[in-house]
Amino acid sequence: MRRRRPLTHRGAAAVLAGLLCVIAANLLAAPILMYVAVLLFLLVIFAALVVHVPRRGGAVTRRISTDLLTVGEESQVAVRFDLRALRVPHGTWRDLLPTAVSGNAEGEFPTDNGTHIRYAITGVRRGVWPVGPLLLRTIDPFGFAQREQEFGDTRTVTIVPEIVPLAPLSSIVGAAGGTAHTSSTRLGQGSDNLSPRHYVSGDSMRRIHWRATAHRGDLMVRQEEEESSPDALVVLDRTARRWERVGVDADPAFESAVSACASIALHLVQGGYSVDVLDSSGAVLGTLRGHEDDRDSLLVALAMVSPQGEGRDIITLFDGAPPGPLVMITGRLDEEDAALLRHGGASAPILLATEPLDGAADAAAALGWSSAQLTDDVASAWEDALPARMATGGGHVTR
């Protein structure tokens, strides 16, 4: 923070005028100009003493009306400033704000309501940012000298990604939502729910279902079914090579991805699903089971994520059975990488990519993904990617 000069522009002009009077007094032999110079110097010295000599202390407490401030949301900041001084100075106050928030955090001091200060801030960029300290700038009655002091410590404000309302999942996924929907995948091996099927050459004789064989008159074997979980999985691909870094500024594409991740996870839990949110390396960003604390924990984690490292194969992120809805959110995706995105039997695999390259959408569709390009209009991209957009003939419509 740049420190202010001890003299104002008026004070500096007064000193300069005094020096000119001294020079003119000697050149013109005019003692009156010397008296004027001395008077100006004395006034500046007196002003500096009035402003800088008094000792002041103070305590600052801040309360922000919203614990978690969403990007684009407005919140009120209440500041209590307890100033300890012989007299209340006149000047201006200013609360230091980071560039991640916007607001008019300055005014005249003392304020109309004494030491209680209020102002509004709006979230601009997600993250955890410091607010403060409070700066008090005082000026002497002549306007010659100024003094700026810091009071109090900083208070952090957590700005979380924007939450966007989304369209409901297609009836393909299950009209009853996550609490009732399951899907099953036929397997040749397994130990879960048993159902008979006709014997195929190569099946083990130990798997023969004798009761079904006797009932149907044909040799039947046990066919296991693996049920997919009614849980949903949202994966945010943080792999560094998929995202751009523009100096210290945030990558707009990655910000859209984070907003989509938060919006989709909260949307799914409202639909009755238990939702796990992971990054591409398998690190848990949040687990949503319908509790408010779960929601806040996820948003705080997403407030601080950034592109980094490498990712893992998606199916290695499953804990047991494949999920119901599986949402993969990624950045730059080429055809080769898209062809490796196995969803492991998820009942509703949805892929959102901010920069799908030529052939990526077709490669993902061949594996069963319903995909769309993710833009800053998260709601529209989500609607384009819903399984309901599948063509009735069995193909995928990707955009």
Q: What is the pLDDT of residues 86-104, one digit of tens each?
A: 676 778 899 999 999 999 9
Residues 336-350: what's their mean pLDDT?
89
**397 vs 399: CA distance, rounded Å:** 7
The reply to whether the predicted model has a pTM over 0.85 is no
Q: Structure tokens of 110?
A: 């003392």
C-alpha span between 64 and 129 (Å, rounded): 13
CA distance 11 to 274: 67
Categorize the per-residue pLDDT at 320 as very low, low, confident or very high, splitting at 50, 70 and 90: low
Please report the pLDDT score of residue 285 as a whole number. 94
- Token pair 């993902």 is found at 364
Average pLDDT over residues 97-122: 85
CA 172, 173, 177, 182: dihedral to nearest 10 degrees? Answer: 120
Query: Left, alpha or beta for 215 (phi > 0: left; psi -120 to 50: alpha)?
Result: alpha
State mean pLDDT over 306-325. 81
Reported as a pLDDT band with limits 50, 70 and 90, residue 206 is low
Per 3-state DSSP, what percentage of the chain is helix, strand, and coil (rounded to 5)? 30, 30, 40
* Rounded CA separation 23/20 (Å): 5
Among 114-118, 211-215, 288-292, 323-327, top mean pLDDT goes to 323-327
Which sign does the torsion angle of CA 224, 225, 229, 230 carry?
negative
Question: Which of 66-70, 216-220, 295-299 has the highest mean predicted lDDT (pLDDT)?
Answer: 295-299
Map out the domains of the chain as residue ranges. Answer: 9-52, 57-160, 185-228, 232-389
- Topology agreement, domain 57-160 and domain 232-389: no
Task: Note the pLDDT of residue 67.
Answer: 82
Residue 48 has pLDDT above 60, yes or no: yes
Per-residue model confidence (pLDDT) at position 385: 92
Residue 12 pLDDT exceeds 90: yes
Looking at residue 290, its pLDDT comes to 78
- Higher pLDDT: 205 or 216? It is 216
pLDDT at 83: 85
Topology of the domain comprising 232-389: Rossmann fold (3.40.50)
* Bridge partners (DSSP) listed for residue 151: 134
Q: Are 140 and 47 in contact (CB under 8 A)?
A: yes
Residue 268's identity, in one-letter code, is L
* Distance from C-alpha of 114 to C-alpha of 80, rounded to nearest angstrom: 9
C-alpha to C-alpha distance for 151 and 167, rounded to whole angstroms: 48
Confidence of residue 170 (pLDDT cuts 50, 70, 90): low
pLDDT band at 186 (very low <50, low <70, confident <90, very high): very low
List pLDDT tens digits, range 248-283: 567 899 999 999 999 999 999 998 899 999 999 899
d(CA 351, CA 123): 29
Alpha-helix residue ranges (DSSP H) falling in the chain: 9-28, 31-52, 210-216, 252-270, 292-303, 335-338, 360-366, 378-385
CATH number at 57-160: 2.60.40.10
Q: Is the pLDDT of residue 395 over 50?
A: no
**Where are the extended beta strands (E) located within 152-245?**
155-160, 183-186, 193-198, 220-228, 232-236
Give the pLDDT of residue 112. 56
Res 187 pLDDT > 60: no
pLDDT in tens, 124-164: 999 999 999 999 998 888 889 999 999 988 999 999 999 99
- What does the pLDDT read at residue 398? 39
Q: Which residue has the higher pLDDT, 247 or 333?
A: 333
Count of alpha carbons within 13 angstroms of residue 77, beta-carbon side: 30
In the prediction, which pLDDT does 13 show?
Answer: 94
In eight-state DSSP terms, residue 201 is T
Token representation of residue 20: 């000119």
C-alpha to C-alpha distance for 148 and 96, rounded to whole angstroms: 13
- Indicate left, alpha or beta for 123 from its phi (over 0: left) and psi (-120 to 50: alpha): beta
- Higher-pLDDT residue of 361, 196: 361
Is residue 209 very low, low, confident or very high in pLDDT (cuts 50, 70, 90)?
Answer: confident
Concatenated DSSP letters of 120-131: EEEE-S-EEEEE
d(CA 128, CA 285) in angstroms, rounded, equals: 16
Q: Which residues contact 295 (CB under 8 A, 6 or more apart)?
A: 266, 269, 288
Rg over alpha carbons for the chain, rounded to the nearest Å, is 34
